Structure 1
Amino acid sequence: MKAIRRFTVRPVLPEPLRPLCDLARNLRWSWHTETQELFRSIEPQAAARTQSPDAGAAGDARWPEECDPVRLLGAVSAGRLDELARDEPFLRRLAGVSRDLRDYLEQPRWYQEQLGRGAGLPAAVAYFSPEFGVTAALPQYSGGLGILAGDHLKAASDLGVPLIGVGLLYRHGYFRQSLSRDGWQQEHYPVLDPNELPLTLLREHDGTPARVVLTLPGSRSLHAQIWQARVGRVPLLMLDSGVEENAPGEREVTDRLYGGGSEHRLLQEMLLGIGGVRAVRTYCRLTGHPAPEVFHTNEGHAGFLGLERIRELSGTGLGLDAATETVRAGTVFTTHTPVPAGIDRFERELVARHFGDDGELPGVPAERVLDLGTESYPGGDPGVFNMAVMGLRLAQRANGVSTLHGSVSREMFAGLWPGFDAAEVPITSVTNGVHAPTWVAPEVFGLRGRHRAAPGRWDSAAAIPDRELWELRRSLRARLVTEVRERLRASWLTRGAAPAELGWIDGVLDPDVLTIGFARRVPSYKRLTLMLRDRERLSALLLHPDRPVQIVVAGKAHPADDGGKRLVRELVRFSDDPRVRHRVVFLPDYGMAMAQRLYPGCDVWLNNPLRPLEACGTSGMKAALNGCLNLSVRDGWWDEWYEPDFGWAIPTADGPVLDEERRDDLEAAALYALIEDRIAPRFYDRGEEGLPERWIEMVRRTLGVLGPKVLAGRMVGEYVERLYGPAARAGRALDAGAARRLADWKAKVRAAWPQVAVDHVEAGASTAADGPAELGATLTLRVRVTLGELVPGDVEVQAVAGRVDAADGISGAQVFPLKPAGGQDLEGRWLYEGPLALDRTGPYGYTVRVLPAHPLLASGAEMGLVALPPQTASGDGAADVPLR
């Protein structure tokens, strides 16, 4: 019989157990082992029945480690609670864990130390993301972007960074994945009741739920309530449109992550950006939290937050242009995609309709909104509104998520800064990191602790004896084998198999066989099935009589991506083959809970994307922190930190002459060769004590040398020092008067720029030597420029020099500022002079240019304006552009 209505009955805890509520509601338990163990000890059988929403197949209760404390407290009997309330050892343990949480929340940390040193850091930062992967108990993520956002919040909490997370609460989350009998992906969208999640509703002082409201076309409104999650010290605000004030269509705005058509996605992003700013303001008003000085947009989905802040400021009489400058100064934009197809783009008419006279943001004209998202560069589509373009235009500071991705992003968005080489496009990079307490197996931490590792130190791996390290690796592998068998059995039962035909699962995988893991989303560029290019060769590797290999694969294709679903089915069908099914496994419903077992249990983590389409790829980082070696194409973070001590680099078949099929054949062959000739022999090559000594040394180096680089604490520290701090200082410098003056100055410069020109360049050697220039010589440059209505204080004149190629393109450029050398000549031109040191041999060249200059510009390229000389040259030492 099915209930017609569902609601949550909360337990009433005895007074001695009240601290359990605080422990359960703060998601620090998701990465704090002592808190997890405390809850598991309450009633192990209840823990096994209250697994998190992505813990396994529906109704399956085999992973008590993933128990959700909020659900657990609702499942424990009153008798057991009374018993615990009289259990002195339990109460002492509870008091200790509660005290530890209180100390964690209240004691000053790294950020407070920096503030004490006068570092000029922001009072608070608002961090916006469309998804957050904090814990399996709060399934509001689809993949790497959300997991990264969750790790960002956790690391910020550990460091004491006063961050406020802002996202949406999706009533159906992403989706749950199962397989049909023939291996086709099936999607399921279970309803999530916020009252059963580790959330609390933000309320006004009178007890009514706090609300934000957006105006929609046709005299409609979109209402949203605000749920809070506590991620250690960091509040995470999640907007939920499932409220009675909304019409049925508006209630569905936050139904599921990355679902629906264009208008549905647009409304989600308006609610995230505009509603998110309003939610932050409401939260700060109600709690007294410091107002954010910096707003961080994690990908373009939240880009509308800049428009809401412009509306706020322009309403104070500041004016749109000055408000825009203020907003830009305090905004950080992080791009996560290396391909234009990964960016949200909407029809201009759709956006205009929602920001028109009867839409959102009164006081901000719709045309002004549209201009911010226009692809006004060669190859751009004038009919679309580009969220990443708007994000870049409304942020003075932007970054990619690895060094290589920063370079790719500068190339991809170079059209927004015409006249500048891609290397000068003002997009930097902060390489992602991962939150070690979330992803490192407790056994790994325990082994380090037994060898007296200081907190936060990873170099202790050097002190761990080979045998202990190897036994740890085997025990983690054995635990993974058990987990895989249980999950595989559940999957086959869901696919319609009878228990009697599943006896073979007891022989799947072997705890002593080299284990390779591959788990991630399944877009085509990640190449889930590259390993299947030569199935006979792969089968030979799997079934090798002396050096066998086993592979565990997991991943979800987007529900609308039939191509990705075909890849999943292809892999599943291969893994169903009785000849190899004991050596290769596909596990459905990949999520955080599964990942936390996969990373520690694998020996090698495989990643074979199309280079350079992997922005960062943090799964390999999580594996590395557990002593798993990486086998990857040199893309994302692996391109930056690969060393032979940490794993293997798969050679890539780059070049425009290769078609896709040929490229995949070559790279798959290289993958097989690495496994057969180098990886498997090293794993199975045992020394006198029966240990793979060279393999163990690679594990040790991965833990001790690579480990510190991939930590989320390092990442968040870089954001604070390189982006948040400068953004806060830039925002403080722009009081109302300064903002107006900067806006007026920019308007003046843009209007005058067509008259700015480099008219004449001449170079004289400072040495008496004739003939070719010699290393160490210095040229004296004299440049005459026309500035029109501008004056020297408005510009900077530079020489740009370096080696040149056959087409006279400058590489490895160095910039040399030139100084004014007198007033205007009779023709109204200004003279600039300066030395140019010849510090390189070989073909060498230079050019000169004029850029806008102002103390409040973050870079000379910020405005996208540059004046270059005409491309002509003469051989008499005086030229428009001396090329060599």
Structure 2
Amino acid sequence: MNPYSIYTPQDRKVAYFSMEVGLQPEIPTYSGGLGILAGDTLKSFADLSVPAIGVTLLYTKGYFHQEIDSDGNQIEVPVEWDPSNFMTLLTEKVTVDIEGRSVLVQAWVYPVKGITGYTVPVLFLDTNLAANEPEDREISAYLYGGDERYRLKQEVVLGFGGAHMLQILDHDNLQAYHMNEGHAALLTLELMDRYQQDLDKVKALCVFTTHTPVPAGHDTFDVDTVRDVLRDRFHFEDLGHSNIIDTDGRLNMTYLALYHAEYINGVAQKHGEISQKMFPEYRIDAITNGIHIRTWICDSMAAVLDSHIPNWRQDSYALRNALDIPRVEIWEAHQAAKRELFDFIEAQYGISMDPDVLTIGFARRAAAYKRATLLLRDTERLKKIASRSGRLQILYSGKAHPADAEGKALIQEIHQAGGQLNDDIKMVYIPNYDMYRAKFLVSGVDIWLNTPMRPLEASGTSGMKAAANGVVNFSVLDGWWIEGYIEGVTGWSIGPRRVKTETGPAIHDVRETSAAYDALDADDLYGKLEHQILPCFYEDRSRWMNMMAYNIALNGSFFNTHRMVAQYVLEAYFQ
């Protein structure tokens, strides 16, 4: 019996391709927001009985386990995990041509089970087979590891291999191939060959979501490298248009996806506008990201919701009724989550935190444009604010990409700032930020801080997770927060609403431009922290509890993947 048949009770209509997918902490096939969004999307597919199938890579050695030494240096430790503990290995195999060799690809299937029992299968592609050459067995080993050639080989497996695997598993009635970022764009070349270069047919099948205005977020590959890796599958004469091959002689995967997709979207309303300016020759829509609510709401808050809104897991929009919940119940549920977070920190790191003290959380990928150290720009002013307006605690977490020297330097800078704060403000950097630690943080802190350079925060789903748990956001007006904030009601903004950093079809490297705003943003951050946030927390608890309820009701009920998936179904998949 084919084990795959257990998970395919009906035809699939949507194939969802993503370079990374985060489904549970023990499966290390994600690095951050992109993968978590993919996992949350697949969970909502299952909850809503959308006939979809996911396609990604297995990554037998994961991303990496992060440790931080006493000097603040990030240390990357390989991840060891056994996919057979979580997935079923299929008997079917396909081959892809890489550098003139036939590389065998197998697939593991993971069933994502919805709340009503409907199941969405996720295929994890794997080249670690004895029949392959040693270097080819490593193609699916590391997430975002290796050099440019290694990355291109992975995208060959995802795009060509994923499309082949779906075909031999008899998914011939697919109506949409959804590319979650440009990593899967090579599947469009497979579809073009399959449909005899019928561009209109391929465009009608393809959906493309772009996630970032940061140039580094758009994969490009040297054309000579592409020719060597893809050989007969790459036809330069067919791609020398529409910026697919740029002026530097590089294959741009974003433009490859744009050219072959009929429906294209950004991941927030602002990001859609920015993307339209970046790619003016294409129509860019916007579907704002969301989170899978029942994955991210903590147990104590879920218990309160169960007693007042029993259908919230099935109907995320029902969370609007959180306004009817007695505020003290929301507060007590949050305090329980806060104590659980602090118990975890004490058990893991031997550091004691005070649950009665306002606690700020900042947890996301350590990248320069996210400005993790903006809060620490003037540590002396920060200490004075805490001493005058009330006590303060700060929790940081986040991994830097192994090749990102700037990101690693940020972690060191935070570590050094912690020493400068001494005992005036207790600050902890929690290593190895993952789904497990994220759930503790987004539900247990009091303020969720986000300080990116505008307009580089495409969405920002961690803030949505915090809001759904009643945690108040304090964020730069970028990404989702432009849509989710009501000043003094759901949280507070940082700095001005608009910053001119985009010109024409591309986004500049905004660091020089943004530097002029760092001081302005930091001053606004410190001012609101001292004169509004700390006084509200310590002196007007009833207002604070109201803000918690408004976050669950207004933001939790909208910024979720149930709403997001419904939009994709209506606007992109089945038009």
Residue 304 (structure 1) aligns with: 186
- State whether structure 2 residue 157 is matched by structure 1 residue 267: no
Distance in structure 1 (CA, Å) of the matches to 2:78 and 2:39: 22
* Matched position secondary structure for 1:518: strand
Q: Report % sequence identity.
A: 41
Distance in structure 2 (CA, Å) of the matches to 1:237 and 1:454: 31
Distance in structure 1 (CA, Å) of the matches to 2:256 and 2:521: 37
Distance in structure 2 (CA, Å) of the matches to 1:546 and 1:342: 40
Distance in structure 2 (CA, Å) of the matches to 1:216 and 1:153: 30
Residue 292 (structure 2) aligns with: 435
Deviation at 1:223, TM superposition (A): 1.2
Which structure 2 residues correspond to residues 87-486 of structure 1 after superposition, within 5 A?
Answer: 124-196=13-85, 198-203=86-91, 210-217=92-99, 219-232=100-113, 233-283=119-169, 285=170, 291-314=173-196, 320=197, 323-356=198-231, 359=232, 361=233, 366-371=235-240, 374-375=243-244, 380-414=246-280, 417=281, 425-455=282-312, 456=315, 457-486=318-347
Residue 529 (structure 1) aligns with: 373
Q: What do the CA deviations read for 1:302-337 (whole angstroms, capped 9, x no partner)?
A: 0001111112222xxxxx2xx222111111011011
Distance in structure 1 (CA, Å) of the matches to 2:175 and 2:562: 21
Partners of 2:453 and 2:514 within 8 A in 1: no
Partners of 1:348 and 1:370 within 8 A in 2: no
Partners of 1:242 and 1:254 within 8 A in 2: yes
Distance in structure 1 (CA, Å) of the matches to 2:75 and 2:37: 26
* Matched position secondary structure for 1:721: helix
Partners of 1:575 and 1:581 within 8 A in 2: no
AA partner of residue 594 (structure 1): R
Deviation at 1:466, TM superposition (A): 2.6
- State whether structure 2 residue 526 is matched by structure 1 residue 681: no
Partners of 2:8 and 2:121 within 8 A in 1: no
AA partner of residue 459 (structure 2): C
Residue 709 (structure 1) aligns with: 558
Deviation at 1:123, TM superposition (A): 5.5
Distance in structure 1 (CA, Å) of the matches to 2:43 and 2:51: 12
User: Kindly tell me: are residues 254 and 450 of structure 1, through their superposed partners in 2, closer, same or farther at Cα, counting changes over 3 Å?
Assistant: same
What is the total number of aligned residue pairs between the two structures? Answer: 552
Partners of 1:518 and 1:606 within 8 A in 2: yes
* Matched position secondary structure for 1:405: helix
Which structure 2 residues correspond to residues 669-748 of structure 1 after superposition, within 5 A?
Answer: 669-686=523-540, 692-726=541-575
User: Kindly tell me: are residues 569 and 382 of structure 1, through their superposed partners in 2, closer, same or farther at Cα, counting changes over 3 Å?
Assistant: closer
AA partner of residue 176 (structure 2): V
Which structure 2 residues correspond to residues 31-110 of structure 1 after superposition, within 5 A?
Answer: none
Distance in structure 2 (CA, Å) of the matches to 1:123 and 1:229: 15
Distance in structure 1 (CA, Å) of the matches to 2:395 and 2:450: 13
Distance in structure 2 (CA, Å) of the matches to 1:567 and 1:375: 34
* Matched position secondary structure for 1:167: strand
Distance in structure 2 (CA, Å) of the matches to 1:617 and 1:165: 22
Distance in structure 2 (CA, Å) of the matches to 1:354 and 1:325: 27
* Matched position secondary structure for 2:139: helix
* Matched position secondary structure for 2:401: coil
Residue 640 (structure 1) aligns with: 483
User: Kindly tell me: are residues 516 and 664 of structure 1, through their superposed partners in 2, closer, same or farther at Cα, counting changes over 3 Å?
Assistant: same
AA partner of residue 145 (structure 2): G
Deviation at 1:373, TM superposition (A): 7.3
Q: What do the CA deviations read for 1:807-851 (whole angstroms, capped 9, x no partner)?
A: xxxxxxxxxxxxxxxxxxxxxxxxxxxxxxxxxxxxxxxxxxxxx
Residue 513 (structure 1) aligns with: 357
Which structure 2 residues correspond to residues 434-833 of structure 1 after superposition, within 5 A?
Answer: 434-455=291-312, 456=315, 457-489=318-350, 505=351, 508-542=352-386, 544=387, 547-576=390-419, 579-580=422-423, 583-644=426-487, 645-652=489-496, 654-655=499-500, 660-686=514-540, 692-726=541-575
| Larger RCO, structures 1/2 (Cα 8 Å, 6+ apart) | 2
Distance in structure 2 (CA, Å) of the matches to 1:231 and 1:178: 31
Superposed CA RMSD in Å reads: 2.3
User: Kindly tell me: are residues 583 and 541 of structure 1, through their superposed partners in 2, closer, same or farther at Cα, counting changes over 3 Å?
Assistant: farther
| Runs of 4+ deviating beyond 4 Å | 655-660
User: Kindly tell me: are residues 181 and 598 of structure 1, through their superposed partners in 2, closer, same or farther at Cα, counting changes over 3 Å?
Assistant: same
AA partner of residue 426 (structure 1): R
* Matched position secondary structure for 1:458: helix
Partners of 1:453 and 1:460 within 8 A in 2: no
Deviation at 1:576, TM superposition (A): 4.2
* Matched position secondary structure for 1:254: coil
Q: What do the CA deviations read for 1:738-757 (whole angstroms, capped 9, x no partner)?
A: xxxxxxxxxxxxxxxxxxxx
AA partner of residue 388 (structure 1): T
Partners of 2:300 and 2:334 within 8 A in 1: no
Deviation at 1:582, TM superposition (A): 6.2
* Matched position secondary structure for 1:272: helix
TM-score, length basis structure 1: 0.60
Deviation at 1:595, TM superposition (A): 0.5
Deviation at 1:674, TM superposition (A): 0.9
Q: What do the CA deviations read for 1:26-83 (whole angstroms, capped 9, x no partner)?
A: xxxxxxxxxxxxxxxxxxxxxxxxxxxxxxxxxxxxxxxxxxxxxxxxxxxxxxxxxx
Residue 754 (structure 1) aligns with: none
User: Kindly tell me: are residues 514 and 105 of structure 1, through their superposed partners in 2, closer, same or farther at Cα, counting changes over 3 Å?
Assistant: farther
Deviation at 1:546, TM superposition (A): 5.6
Partners of 1:539 and 1:580 within 8 A in 2: no
Partners of 2:44 and 2:561 within 8 A in 1: yes
Distance in structure 1 (CA, Å) of the matches to 2:561 and 2:455: 23
Distance in structure 2 (CA, Å) of the matches to 1:226 and 1:372: 34
